[in-house]
């Protein structure tokens, strides 16, 4: 489906469609569709950094404090994060690629009965009761076997995160609606998942759309074949336009040239996983430089910093910031893709305003 647009149109559209007018926390998560989580706090977690631009008077930690009262779940989609509870029906019952052996299934059944009896459990309680020992983790190190088993039970939809205690997941037994497991039912769920990620990350270069469809194999591995079919159908139904050899896709009911996608003069420091910058391929096409997340890069090899926050001013990502709180004060350093900061009072004032907002965001309720 052809639709005319320029790269400037797509840049404004990419920024304005996801940086909607700040609203309530439940509405913001519903509009985002999925909120990627990250445990690093530098100086706040990625989920808080993402929500601060989209929720009125948001403070770091509000999501964790409010989680138990909201109709949301920690779960897996294209990566790990938070989903509106209504979306769980699209991905559960999840069938993991790696089947458990009989011994693991017995252990999981015993733990499930234990959790059901207790109502909610901390991993420490499970470890103390069952003494599962240690296992080799993904990185080749040693991990607590009970924690590893609980993670697997959560992934398979047997448990859900009820809340967190000092960052640690506290689990309860999960309850899911019966899903339509007919081929038609699976096809509908796969199509809905493709629509969910398109509406979150549009506009998307063709290669990024394919990549996201593959990443859905993390949250819905049992729908992989139907997801591939849904992707082919979506490519025919989505609006698209080819610019400089790249085909771009976006929802057919949206128009990137619409006046509704106007940008403001605000400067924003974004999370490394914010929808505006999450797709590094799209980032390079829209802004002409390469941004890297370097938290896991050796310090001597970092170009941007441990947890560099992309700096969005108007509809341009012009650089990055590294922030830290020391002795109760916010300290900052900046880098710019062009080598130097923009000149003029407008930029300086916008940056000062953002740092003031950031200080309030990090402060107590």
Collect all residues with Cβ–Cβ distance below 8 Å to 315 and sequence separation of at least 6.
Answer: 11, 12, 15, 16, 263
Structure tokens at 306: 């441990």
Where does a domain end: 150, 173, 196?
173
User: How many structural domains are present in the chain?
Assistant: 2
Where does a domain end: 128, 148, 173?
173
* 143 prior amide bond cis, ω within 30: no
Which one, of 121, 103, 217, 215, lies nearest residue 160 by Cα?
Answer: 121
Is 97 domain-assigned?
no
How confident is the model over 228-258, as pLDDT tens digits?
A: 999 999 999 999 999 999 999 999 999 999 9
pLDDT of residue 75: 97
How confident is the model over 172-211, as pLDDT tens digits?
A: 999 998 889 999 999 999 999 999 999 999 999 999 999 9
Is 316 domain-assigned?
yes
Where does a domain end: 127, 158, 173?
173
Q: How far is CA 154 from CA 109, 130, 216, 356, in A?
A: 13, 18, 17, 39
Is 209 domain-assigned?
no
Is 73 domain-assigned?
no
In percent, the amount of the chain with pLDDT more than 90 equals 91
> Alpha helix locations (H) across the chain?
7-16, 25-32, 46-51, 62-66, 88-91, 102-118, 123-130, 145-155, 183-201, 206-219, 224-237, 280-287, 345-362
pLDDT of residue 355: 98
Q: CA-to-CA distance for 365 and 354, rounded, in angstroms?
A: 19
Structure tokens at 199: 């509406």
Is 25 domain-assigned?
no
Is 162 domain-assigned?
yes
Structure confidence at residue 144 as a pLDDT band (50, 70, 90): confident
Which one, of 157, 136, 166, lies nearest residue 73 by Cα?
Answer: 157
- Residue 136's domain comprises 102-173
pTM flag (> 0.85): yes
Is 108 domain-assigned?
yes
pLDDT of residue 138: 47
């Amino acid at each position: 489906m052809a639709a005319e647009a320029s790269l400037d149109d797509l840049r404004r559209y990419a920024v304005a469609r996801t940086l909607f007018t700040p609203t309530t926390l439940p509405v913001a998560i519903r509009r985002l569709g999925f909120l990627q989580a990250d445990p690093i706090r530098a100086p706040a977690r990625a989920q808080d950094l993402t929500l601060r631009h989209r929720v009125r008077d948001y403070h770091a930690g509000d999501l964790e404090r409010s989680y138990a009262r909201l109709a949301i779940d920690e779960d897996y989609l294209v990566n790990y994060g938070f989903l509106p509870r209504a979306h769980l029906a699209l991905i559960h019952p999840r069938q993991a690629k790696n089947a458990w052996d009989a011994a693991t299934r017995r252990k999981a059944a015993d733990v499930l009965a234990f959790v059901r009896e207790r109502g909610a459990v901390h991993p420490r309680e499970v470890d103390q009761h069952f003494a599962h020992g240690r296992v080799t983790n993904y990185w080749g190190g040693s991990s607590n076997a009970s924690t590893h088993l609980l993670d697997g039970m959560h992934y398979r939809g047997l448990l859900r995160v009820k809340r967190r205690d000092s960052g640690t997941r506290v689990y309860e037994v999960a309850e899911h609606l019966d899903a339509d497991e007919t081929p038609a039912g699976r096809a509908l769920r796969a199509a809905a998942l493709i629509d969910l990620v398109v509406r979150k990350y549009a506009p998307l270069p063709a290669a990024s759309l394919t990549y996201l469809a593959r990443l859905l194999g993390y949250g819905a591995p049992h729908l992989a074949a139907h997801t591939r079919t849904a992707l082919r159908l979506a490519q025919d139904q989505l609006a698209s336009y080819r610019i400089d050899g790249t085909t771009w896709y976006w929802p057919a009911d949206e128009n990137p040239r619409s006046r509704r996608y106007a940008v403001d003069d605000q400067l924003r420091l974004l999370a490394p996983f914010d929808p505006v910058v999450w797709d590094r391929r799209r980032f390079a096409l829209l802004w002409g430089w390469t941004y890297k997340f370097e938290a896991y890069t050796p310090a001597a090899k970092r170009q941007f910093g441990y947890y560099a926050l992309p700096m969005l001013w108007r509809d341009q990502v012009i650089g990055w910031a590294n922030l830290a709180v020391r002795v109760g004060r916010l300290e900052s350093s900046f880098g710019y893709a062009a080598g130097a900061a923009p000149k003029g009072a407008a930029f300086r004032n916008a940056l000062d305003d953002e740092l003031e907002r950031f200080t309030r965001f990090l402060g107590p309720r």
